[in-house]
Amino acid sequence: MSSKGILRMIEQPTPTTVFKCLADETRARMTLLVAREGELCVCELTCALAEIQPKISRHLAQLRNCGLLADRRQGQWVYYRLHPQLPGWVHQMLQTIGEANERWLASDTQRLDTMRNRPERTSVCDRTNQERP
């Protein structure tokens, strides 16, 4: 995880911070996809949203800076997930919004589900368990 993510999460996000961060359609779609999938890399988000990589990376940086997402590097890939220190109300809100808006995300999820050559990864839980003595 980047040091910016650690510093940012000392303060819990407020509703104002969360809603401002999600006010952009691209960031909202990205966050809901990450919440749905658990973890996604830049190339998966680029494919799912049918956007160029610089735009996706810029929005991911904003989501990281506001404390909604955390990242991890595995080889050449950088994976994004909901920040592990997000309060429960944020998780509940994202789950509710995702479930209520499946049609809004349908084309994104369809592109993601049919993406070929998705990068393989070890889940965060498996990786954490392997690092323990």
Q: Domain-by-domain residue ranges, the chain? A: 3-131
Q: pLDDT tens across 12-63, in order?
A: 889 999 999 999 999 999 999 999 999 999 999 999 999 999 999 999 999 9
Q: Which CATH number fits domain 3-131: 3.30.360.10, 1.10.10.10, 2.40.50.140, 3.30.420.10?
A: 1.10.10.10
Q: pLDDT tens across 112-121, in order?
A: 988 877 776 5
DSSP states along the chain: --HHHHHHTTSPPPHHHHHHHH-SHHHHHHHHHHHHHS-EEHHHHHHHHT--HHHHHHHHHHHHHTTSEEEEEETTEEEEEE-TT--HHHHHHHHHHHHHTHHHHHHHHHHHHT-SSPPP---HHHHHHHH--
pTM comes to 0.80
Q: Residue 120: its pLDDT value, please? A: 66
